[in-house]
Amino acid sequence: MVRAIPGLGSIAISEGCQSTLISLVSTPASACLNLPGTVAVLSTVANSSWIPPINAWLTNFCSAELCTDDQLRSTLSTAADGCSAELAYLGITKSDVVVNVIDYFEDSKAALCVIDSNNGNKFCAITTLEAIETAIGAPLTPSSAVAGFPLLVDNAYRIARRIGCTACTAAGLALVRPSIWPSAYTDVVVPWVTWHCGASFVATPTTGLSPATGTLAQVAAAATTSRSASDPLVVPEALLGIMGLLSAAFTLF
């Protein structure tokens, strides 16, 4: 019997795909991808914010050894085989998944693991997710993010631009740039970022922003868990950070 995962169920994927994803915790890349932590995120109690478990996932993922190509290939092949119907629906092939993840994994991990020494060594990803949560006015879950999306893009992306055009986003973009074809960067990424954040955005200073490194204990000590509900949002302009990078990445893929 397949154990229900609230997060996966809300995305309405097949039971077979859910079962496959759960089984990935025993595959070669389980530790380097922190797949047990991924299951914990997807098992978050309904209507509870996904930010605390995502922060825990990042702490373990960013302190883990980098996955080898063979580890990624084995685990991704298993996932693609078990979720073939979902991939077909999205128009994505197994080769697309395996090749792209292997090609972009190292730089993408560095971008995802950026911490901000100017903001208590918090993960930039967490700062951005907290800003999204504040903007939509509800605990951040897949369903609340979808429901709040119209607000974020209303008035010519006014809120999204304010939250996303930050030094954190600029640092992430600089880290993934080596993985982007020069022509794609020049013809797609730069115009997209310039339109959203202004012509000077790609030159935004990123002092104090760097990927988390070290052991689990060192990363956990450096990265603060999450602001409390009573704390002020240190970077009220944070929203497009993760959102913008992911959107640009998905555009390229």
Q: Is residue 252 scored above 70 in pLDDT? A: no
DSSP-assigned beta bridge partners for residue 115: 123, 210
State the total domains in the chain: 1
Query: Is residue 170 situated within a structural domain?
Result: yes
- Residues 112, 99 contacting (CB under 8 angstroms): no
61-70, 138-147, 202-211: which has the highest mean pLDDT?
A: 61-70
CA angle 47, 30, 177 (to 5 degrees): 85
Give a three-class secondary structure readout of 78-147.
HHHHHCHHHHHHHCCCHHHHHHHHHHHHHHHHHHHCEEEHHHCCEEHHHHHHHHHHHHHCCCCCHHHHHH
In the prediction, which pLDDT does 222 show?
58
Nearest-angstrom CA–CA distance, 175 and 211: 9
- Residues 53, 44 contacting (CB under 8 angstroms): yes
42-51, 91-100, 184-193: which has the highest mean pLDDT?
A: 91-100
Query: Is residue 84 situated within a structural domain?
Result: yes
Please state, as a whole number, how many other Cβ atoms lie within 10 Å of the Cβ of residue 18. 20
Q: How many residues does the chain have?
A: 253
- Residues 206, 117 contacting (CB under 8 angstroms): no
Provide the pLDDT confidence category of residue 97 given band limits of 50, 70 and 90.
very high
Between 157 and 80, the higher pLDDT residue: 80
In the prediction, which pLDDT does 192 show?
86
CA angle 205, 215, 168 (to 5 degrees): 20
Query: Is residue 1 situated within a structural domain?
Result: no
Q: What is the mean pLDDT of residues 76-85?
A: 94
Nearest-angstrom CA–CA distance, 134 and 151: 12
Query: Is residue 115 situated within a structural domain?
Result: yes
- Residues 74, 28 contacting (CB under 8 angstroms): yes
In the prediction, which pLDDT does 161 show?
80
Provide the pLDDT confidence category of residue 150 given band limits of 50, 70 and 90.
confident
In the prediction, which pLDDT does 65 show?
92
Q: What is the mean pLDDT of residues 2-24?
A: 69
Q: Lowest-pLDDT range, 29-33, 121-125, 135-139, 156-160? A: 156-160
> Would you say the C-alpha torsion 148, 167, 177, 72 has a positive or negative sign?
negative
1-5, 20-24, 178-182, 212-216: which has the highest mean pLDDT?
A: 20-24
Query: Is residue 208 situated within a structural domain?
Result: yes
In the prediction, which pLDDT does 15 show?
86
Please state, as a whole number, how many other Cβ atoms lie within 10 Å of the Cβ of residue 84. 16
- What is the pTM for the complete model shown? 0.76
Residue 131 token pair: 């800003």
- Residues 206, 200 contacting (CB under 8 angstroms): no
pLDDT (tens digit per residue) in 180-204:
888 888 888 888 888 888 888 888 8
Provide the pLDDT confidence category of residue 223 given band limits of 50, 70 and 90.
low
- Domain span at residue 72? 6-252
Please state, as a whole number, how many other Cβ atoms lie within 10 Å of the Cβ of residue 246. 14
Provide the pLDDT confidence category of residue 239 given band limits of 50, 70 and 90.
very low
Q: Is residue 4 scored above 80 in pLDDT? A: no
Nearest-angstrom CA–CA distance, 5 and 43: 5
Sequence-distant (6+) residues with CB within 8 A of 2 are 15, 18, 19, 22
In the prediction, which pLDDT does 242 show?
37
